[in-house]
Structure 1
Amino acid sequence: MLKLNEIHLGDCLEGLARIPSESVDAIISSPPYNIGKSYESRRELNEYLAMQREVLRECHRVLKSTGSIFWQVGVYADRGMHIPLDVKFFPILEDLGMIPRNRIVWVRPHGLHAKNKFSARHETILWFTKGEEYNFFLDEIRVPQKYQNKKSWRGANKGELTCNPLGKNPGDIWLFQNVKHNHEEQTVHPAQFPEDMVARMLLSTTKPGDTVLDPYMGVGTVAVVARDHGRNFLGAELDPSYHAIALQRISGEPDSEGVFPNLKTLRDYTARTGDPVEKFRFQVQVGKKPTERSKSRMFDEAHHLNELHTRLESEETAFGQRVRGESDGPHKLPSQQKHQLATGDDTEPLGLF
């Protein structure tokens, strides 16, 4: 039997077979997309989906009746076709008797520009529950209202708050920053979950002491978030190098040469021990020395949602001006937005170094 807070090194089906039935409170994972990335082997789509059906059948077995599964997927591209994988996974989960609760859109406002179709700018998280009675803790994940202290100005409720003082439901469109260059969570893994996004899924469906499973653990993000929020974790990882990184992130300790798997683990360690950050290095470090977290520029999801709204509004306004003949060029935008649209570089400088 797989022990709590253990990551099986090997095939996920082998790891799942070692987990008792109905012992897991939530499953949070992103399976390989079958697009030929360095950490996966490409298969014919039907073969890939058959394998995923077997994995999900085991996930359903180990999940408690009140449990949830969050399955984050992108697209399968083949000979110019664009096949959203959530469309293929939806019937697999329904066939297991699971109940759909949300289709969450994770907006990815940057990326490669397509030439013969619209550029892909989102991925999907499918949230299914095993039964009708399931855990959902909205108060744990509320976000600020647009007008947080808005009050009624007439009627019987005059002067009273018109919104929940704890905040609002975050909705089903998420814009957590992608983990890539200049992000303190970045490791050598090319497709990594943002920790804050995992936290939203975990906090909304589990309580302290519950158990969270990721059958495709990668470099251990789900395990790290579970640890940080008082949950237990289980998982599996096939790649020995990713497995080793996951274990080091969980331990929070440097290796024998004073190197950490990412800048966040380094900063957490020095904040805990009082050691200077300059004493250590991290795996994806390029050039500059690490700095303390207090000197970095970090932006939350609300900031990125606002930036996206502003950008999309500007793009659509500029397009409308063009088609109505009110503009002699493709865009009439501020110079910074012109640069972003021309280059696709709309990342916020996080100043992590």
Structure 2
Amino acid sequence: MLQLNGIHSGDCLEWLMTLPDNSVDTIISSPPYNIGKSYESRTLLNEYLALQGLVLRECHRVLKETGSIFWQVGVYADKGVHIPLDVRFFPILEDLGMIPRNRIVWVRPHGLHAKNKFSARHETILWFSKSAEYKFFLDEIRVPQKYQNKKSWRGDNKGELTCNPLGKNPGDIWLFQNVKHNHEEQTVHPAQFPEDMVARMLLATTKPGDVVLDPYMGTGTVAVVARDHGRNYLGAELDPTYHDIALRRISGEPDQEGVFPNLKTLRDYVSRTGKPIEDYRFEVQVGKTPTERSKSKRFDEAHHLVEIENRLATEEESFGQRTRGLSDGLPSLPTQEIKPVDEPLGLF
């Protein structure tokens, strides 16, 4: 029988093999990238992909016919060789009989710098469904139109809205902010999913009460988002430190010393209990008293989209001017007034 709302401590492949067939609605995960960082073990690429193939075979088995897999990956880099891992994962998923739906580009304003090639500024999310009869709920994830109240000015539909009043399809270019040093969701994990990005995948392919699985749970982001949106979750995590943090994030309670795994969990606790935030700390706190959420600046994906569009436009205009002999310098980027919004990314 499927044990819901728990995180297995141990190897994900062995654990996946114990799960029943056709028992999961959506799988959202980011496997180890195998690029030699301190928190990963480098193996030969073929060995890595072979192991990932076994994990994905089990994921496919436990997935319902209406289910989806979102597999977020970066690159394999070794001695100057640069291999986008989505290129290697694509045939693995297709060989399982899965159907590609989207290759989503997650733009990263900051990333791996390079001297002998272009710097890496994006990662990818592969979305595959198990069958043609898959769940997709666009209305749950719509974003504002560029011209939200635009109306037709001629023809039979003159005066009527020319766009969906609920908003538009968010598309396959995503700009959710990295969970780094100024992000309220940050834990000790060095490569953490933004909760809002997980929410988009989850809301697009599940209903309340559905089951979401993450075989590489890390510090529990998928579990937290599933809980917050009324979905069931399950997953596995091999690292005991990350497993403990995931359980603490889900519990929402401080440890015996009044410490929380991140600022967001602390803020949620204070909002729920009314206790003073100054009485507590969070693990990645750096020399400052935690602030309540009402005093934080919060920026949504749309803000970051405008910011990066302006930055890229300035960079490319400057390059074009120099190639045409109109400029010999590098202009500074234009400054913008930053306007906080109510939803959904939290900064402190």
Separation (CA, whole Å) in 2 of partners of 1:17 and 1:236: 12
Q: What is the identity, as a one-letter code, of the residue corresponding to 2:180?
A: K
Relative distance call for 1:229 and 1:351 in structure 2 (3 A) is closer
CA separation in 2, counterparts of 1:256 and 1:18? 34
1:269 aligned counterpart, secondary structure: helix
Contact 1:135–1:206 (8 Å) recurs in 2 = yes
Question: Counterpart in 2 of 1:142?
Answer: 142
Once the two structures are TM-superposed, the CA of residue 256 in structure 1 deviates from its matched residue by 0.5
TM-score, structure 2 as length reference = 0.96
| Equivalent-residue separation in structure 1 for 2:18 and 2:249 (angstroms) | 24
Give the total of aligned pairs: 340
SS at match of 1:224: helix
SS across alignment from 1:288: coil
2:56 counterpart residue number: 56
CA deviation after TM superposition for structure 1 residue 271, in Å: 0.2
Residue identity opposite 1:115 in structure 2: K
Asked whether the equivalents of residues 152 and 160 of structure 2 are also in contact (C-alpha less than 8 Å), the reply is yes
Alpha carbons 2:24, 2:213 under 8 Å: kept: yes
SS in 2 for 1:124: strand
Aligned residue in 2 for 1:93? 93
Aligned partner of residue 298 in structure 2, secondary structure: coil
**Offset of residue 211 of structure 1:** 0.1
Deviation readout 1:272-307 (Å, 9 max, x if unpaired): 000011110000000011000011111100000010
Structure 1 residue aligned with 2:332: 333
Query: Residue type of the partner of 2:80?
Result: G
- Normalising by structure 1, what TM-score? 0.94
Which residue matches 1:219? 219
> What residue is the counterpart of 1:199 in the other structure?
199
Aligned alpha-carbon RMSD (Å): 1.3
Residue 185 of structure 1: CA displacement?
0.2
Distance of 1:205 and 1:304 partners within structure 2: 25
Structure 2 distance, partners of 1:197, 1:351, is 16
Contact 2:112 2:121 in 1 (8 A): no
Per-residue CA deviation, residues 68-88 of structure 1 (Å, 9 max, x unaligned), is 000000000011010000000
Q: Distance in 1 between matches of 2:40 and 2:117?
A: 26
Does structure 2 conserve the Cα–Cα contact (< 8 Å) formed by 1:2 and 1:15? Answer: no
- 2:341 aligns with none
Q: Which sections of structure 2, spanning at least 5 residues, go unmatched?
A: 337-344
Residue number in structure 1 paired with 2:271: 271
Separation in 1, partners of 2:50, 2:163 = 46
Residue matched to 2:231: 231
Name the residue aligned to 2:104.
104
Matched, 1:248 2:257: no
In structure 2, C-alpha distance between the alignment counterparts of 1:180 and 1:299, rounded to whole Å: 14
Structure 1: 5+ residue runs without aligned partners?
338-348
What is the identity, as a one-letter code, of the residue corresponding to 1:333? S
For residues 75-94 of structure 1, the aligned pairs below 5 Å read 75-94=75-94
Q: Does 1:4 align with 2:24?
A: no
CA displacement at 1:2 relative to structure 2? 5.0
Taking the aligned partners of 2:77 and 2:251, their CA distance within structure 1 comes to 38
Whether the aligned pair in 1 keeps the contact of 2:143 and 2:170 (CA below 8 Å) is yes
**Map 1:59-74 → 2, pairs under 5 A:** 59-74=59-74
